[in-house]
Amino acid sequence: MSDLTVSFVQSATQWHDPAANRATLTAHIAEISVPTDLIVLPEMFSTGFTMAAADWAEPVEGPTLAWMRELAAERDAVVTGSVITHDEGHYYNRLLWVRPDGTYSHYDKRHLFRMAGEHEVYTAGQQRLVEEWRGWRICPLVCYDLRFPVWSRNDQQQPYDLLLYVANWPAARRTAWITLLRARAIENLAYTMGVNCVGLDLNGQPYDGDSALLDMKGEYLVEVGNQETGITRTLRRADLEAYRCRFPALLDADEFELRTSGELVKL
């Protein structure tokens, strides 16, 4: 199995200005000078983390999806990040997984951040996404999902090699971000990536970044501070398989079923 080259962009988000944010990200991505398989952008990267969904939600086939398609085709890479989407009468914090051929999958954020009223505006997703890309299985999640280890669990029904979180994670909870990313990597025996934003939004909320890439032992491969930056690294398949062979802890994981409102939720 081949290695996987991954890139992420940590940037400041211009509040409620999708065109400006797409232009900024285009410039950052242009600075990625090597071929890459995956480009990861933050949560709500086109608008900032806003509850004004009625004003800023895009249709399913909206301009940001079109931009992601162009970028994916140009770079021959999957492009992913979350966008406010209006679909069949509901608003979603929707992660788009856009392939070079223009096809895409999506994941709707499961855990909505009630302390900001997100659960009152957006509809929660009901199914996790695990995508296979160039020989790797990848599970993309969104921000607050990081706090819920059951939803993030690397299980036998939907195993993955790379767990990633796109986020708008405030500086006030920086310790939780750093600690939980490391915990998710260790407990799931998977490479783990967290991609955050930086700067101050118009709600007065500061973001310190701290985007990171960790290996399956919870060791940092990349750790950035609060600067705007784009990072590219290659994940080694042989290292992952060798560690899982030496330390197969997932074979002893507890079995469980996840139910919400009496309904079985598929992982």
User: Contact 223/210 with Cβ under 8 angstroms?
Assistant: yes
Q: 215, 225, 235, 209: which is closest to 7 by C-alpha?
A: 235
Q: Provide the pLDDT for residue 261.
A: 61
Cβ atoms < 10 Å from Cβ of 4: 22
What pLDDT is recorded for position 87? 98
The pLDDT, as a whole number, for residue 265 is: 63
Q: Output the pLDDT for position 157.
A: 85
CA distances from 79 to 76, 101, 133, 239, 266 (A): 9, 11, 12, 25, 25
pLDDT of 263 higher than 80: no
- Assess contact for 164 and 141: CB atoms under 8 A: yes
Tens-digit pLDDT profile for residues 20-78 = 999 999 999 999 999 999 999 999 999 999 999 999 999 999 999 999 999 999 999 99
Element (H, E) at 94: strand 90-98
**Which residues are CB-contacts of 176 (< 8 A; sequence separation ≥ 6)?**
147
pLDDT (tens digit per residue) in 221-233: 999 999 999 999 9
Query: Residue 193: beta bridge partners?
Result: 164, 213
Q: Residue 13: is its pLDDT beyond 80?
A: yes
Instruction: Give alpha helix (H) positions in the chain.
Output: 18-30, 53-56, 63-75, 118-121, 149-152, 174-188, 237-246
Tokens of 188: 């799931």
158: buried, middle or exposed (CB in 10 Å: 19+, 13-18, 0-12)? middle
For the segment 4-18, the average pLDDT, to the nearest whole number, is 97
Using alpha carbons, select from 42, 43, 3, 7 the residue that is nearest to residue 161: 3
Going by pLDDT thresholds of 50, 70 and 90, the confidence category of residue 266 is low
Compute the average pLDDT of residues 125-146: 97
Of all residues in the chain, what percent carry a pLDDT higher than 90?
A: 93
Question: In which band, very low, low, confident or very high, does the pLDDT at 247 lie, cut at 50, 70 and 90?
Answer: very high
pLDDT of residue 156: 84
Q: Are strands 4-10 and 38-40 parallel, antiparallel or unpaired?
A: parallel
Residues 150-205: tens digit of each pLDDT: 999 998 889 999 999 999 999 999 999 999 999 999 999 999 999 999 999 998 99
Cα separation, 168 vs 220, in Å, equals 20
pLDDT band at 1, cuts 50/70/90? low
Structural tokens at position 161 = 């090699």
Mean of the per-residue pLDDT values for the chain? 96
CB 58 within 8 A of CB 69: no
Beta strand spans in 115-169 (E): 131-133, 136-142, 162-166
Three-state secondary-structure class, residue 203: coil
CB atoms within 10 A of CB 122: 22
| Best CA proximity match to 215, nearest among 176, 244, 246 | 244
| Residues known to be catalytic | 43, 109, 143
Given this model, what pLDDT does residue 257 score? Answer: 80
Whole-prediction pTM: 0.96
Task: Give the CA dihedral 78, 82, 84, 90, nearest 10 degrees.
Answer: 90
Q: DSSP secondary structure string, 231-246?
A: EEEEE-HHHHHHHHHH
**Looking at residue 203, what is its pLDDT?**
87
How much of the chain exceeds pLDDT 70, in percent? 97
